[in-house]
Chains A and B, each alone.
Chain A
Amino acid sequence: MNEEYDVIVLGTGLTECILSGIMSVNGKKVLHMDRNPYYGGESASITPLEDLYKRFNIPGAPPASMGRGRDWNVDLIPKFLMANGQLVKMLLFTEVTRYLDFKVTEGSFVYKGGKIYKVPSTEAEALASSLMGLFEKRRFRKFLVYVANFDENDPRTFEGVDPKKTAMREVYKKFDLGQDVIDFTGHALALYRTDDYLDQPCCETINRIKLYSESLARYGKSPYLYPLYGLGELPQGFARLSAIYGGTYMLNKPIEEIIVQNGKVIGVKSEGEIARCKQLICDPSYVKDRVEKVGQVIRVICILSHPIKNTSDANSCQIIIPQNQVNRKSDIYVCMISSAHNVAAQGKYIAIASTTVETKEPEKEIRPALELLKPIEQKFVSISDLLVPKDLGTDSQIFISRTYDATTHFETTCGDIKDIYKRMTGSEFDFEEMKRKKNDIYGED
């Protein structure tokens, strides 16, 4: 490693691996290291199950009822891919799709008055849903048609709304939608975690609802996809892409020092050796003095031996508990997957409940979600800090990713990737830049 690189990347989380892949494809000489002996950092899927017990300091070995340890791949951070979202676009442009198989999540549900309901998002589903009364359904349908036709570049589709000025609250009023419908539209379709969006210009919200509907239209059952063997497959796929284009990978590398000269990074010291670089990408855990805490997320991994009640025995689903329903400021999410995704032993389900911490008793905050999951065979609780870089890295050329937030998809992660790319290269992120160049050999016969 005693060499000079264009870019050194520390940490093999999804953000770091995607950036590493883009840099390598574009001819940069990349050295990618991780202090752990495995890929993925916080976005790893832990396997075998014994390692998960150790990680959470649960005494003793997993009971025999848990099956074979290596059949488990347990995500630490629950997320799904939006079928029409940016991560899918990145997978397609890079052809990392070659390395992965996906399944469509079976359903998306929303919590209302202690019960869960399937989220309606097409006109037909809305009309059939028991979430709304008849008149409400008509109004909601009109709203969905408006959103589907809305095009931010075509004023003829605005119908008197100014996308950059009119608040979303006003748009709801225009369609005369009631509080319950507003709740599930904002939280289960637009996937906002709080109600702050109501007073912001409506363009963003309408586009989020469009993303949801277009993602849903892809494969039917839900707008979400999940990779077989767990989310940890995603960073590994992008790591292979980077390696194919010459990226060097080293795991199990303790990082002793990030060497900075006159305020700018010049290299990284590991096991006494120094690798030099022009730019550095890393996750917050490698630069604790350069990041700040902006909040906390609680995540509870629950192992179940049954599908969640009232989900028609779905082998995978998402449940959103809108904040209003449980007197909170931010939503509670549940992501559930199962042995059908090669992440758990036969007949087992993994449900991960998560939310942004608002009080001193986070475990109490998440209780409404755990109530839906009972009986829970084993629980693994984590409370982690949300860390963001203190500066943009312009001077230091150290570009730090943000920790994964409480959202249940990868749109904010992709936003962070695009932003780091722009700060590193000075040019706007372009998906075309991710495309493999011609020297990639594959296929033929």
Chain B
Amino acid sequence: MASATDSRYGQKESSDQNFDYMFKILIIGNSSVGKTSFLFRYADDSFTPAFVSTVGIDFKVKTIYRNDKRIKLQIWDTAGQERYRTITTAYYRGAMGFILMYDITNEESFNAVQDWSTQIKTYSWDNAQVLLVGNKCDMEDERVVSSERGRQLADHLGFEFFEASAKDNINVKQTFERLVDVICEKMSESLDTADPAVTGAKQGPQLTDQQAPPHQDCAC
């Protein structure tokens, strides 16, 4: 299997090549279900209770280990473009895993899951793996979506299911780790493991602002 060192991978912000694989993971779902909080809890172990619409967050990186392999997770945020359903199709490119999230205290966000699932199937890679997550499970008093309904929908869509809380740090790490496991399982099934989408290799040349040395190929 191709590793980062023999691929042409070389994104500027991850110029250290201390990893074997890189997985691009997207968190998707309606506005204010807690996507960004979930990301910050996992990547930084922090939580800010006040609702702030997402501005300025592109993605965060976290490295984990699986079977002696170093896996770099690049976890992307929606940039607020989910609000009016204007997430760019370009956002889905190369994603290997999705956390599809709803808020257990918000019926509408649960009803939108089917729609987001269709988006994922339409725009992402065929082998992309999806986990359904019902967030805010600490707010039991305000719950409107039962665990059972969540589980049924996940079964129907063919996804694994978790209830979690970014605020109380319940099942956050477990969600990401399970997603990584599912991706790894899929990878070992896949024959074409040198696919750059699997190794996280950037295809083609890396654009730089440095001038290449002039051609010194004068033949006379």
Contacts and interface: CB of A to CB of B under 8 A. Distances in A.
A254 B60 CA distance: 36
Given A243-B79, A251-B86, 13 more contacts: A39-B89, A84-B211, A95-B12, A101-B202, A104-B205, A123-B219, A127-B219, A217-B211, A232-B90, A240-B91, A244-B57, A245-B56, A440-B58
User: Closest 5 A-B residue pairs measured CB to CB?
Assistant: A236-B88, A442-B58, A236-B90, A243-B79, A249-B86
A97 interface: yes
Contacts of B212: 217-219
B181 to A, nearest CB: 20
25 contacts: A39-B89, A99-B90, A100-B90, A104-B205, A123-B219, A124-B217, A124-B218, A217-B212, A217-B215, A218-B212, A228-B93, A240-B90, A243-B80, A243-B81, A244-B79, A248-B80, A249-B86, A440-B56, A440-B57, A442-B57, A442-B60, A444-B61, A445-B61, A445-B63, A445-B72
A336 to B, nearest CB: 17
B167 to A, nearest CB: 20
Give the residue among A99, A219, A439, A440 with the most B Cβ atoms within 10 A. Answer: A99
Interface string A212-242: 0010011100000100110011001101100
A122 interface: yes
A65 to B, nearest CB: 21
B128 interface: no
Contacts of A233: 90, 93
Interface residues of B, number: 44
B50 interface: no
Nearest to B36: A441
Given A217-B215, A243-B81, A443 B207 contact: no
Interface of A: 38-39, 47, 70, 84, 88-89, 91-92, 95, 97-104, 122-124, 127, 141, 148, 214, 217-219, 225, 228-229, 232-233, 236-237, 239-240, 243-246, 248-251, 439-445
Interface in B46-60: 55-60
A182 B202 CA distance: 39
A10 B29 CA distance: 26
A37 to B, nearest CB: 9
A439 to B, nearest CB: 5
A414 to B, nearest CB: 15
Interface in B96-145: 122
Contacts of A445: 61-63, 72
Given A236-B88, A244-B57, A442-B60, A249 B203 contact: no
B214 A217 contact: yes
A218 B209 CA distance: 10
Nearest to A220: B212
B14 interface: yes
B88 A127 contact: no
Interface string B59-72: 11111000000001
Contacts, number: 130
B207 A92 contact: yes
A445 B65 CA distance: 13
A225 B56 CA distance: 29
Contact of A103 (B86, B204, B214, B215): B204
A97 B207 contact: yes
Given A91-B207, A97-B207, A250 B56 contact: no
A221 B3 CA distance: 27
Contacts of A245: 55-56
Nearest to B78: A243
B219 A102 contact: no
A228 B203 contact: yes
B208 interface: yes
B56 A103 contact: no
A249 B84 CA distance: 7
A352 to B, nearest CB: 21
B203 A101 contact: yes
Given A97-B207, A228-B203, A444-B61, A39 B88 contact: yes
Contacts of A39: 86, 88-89
B220 to A, nearest CB: 7
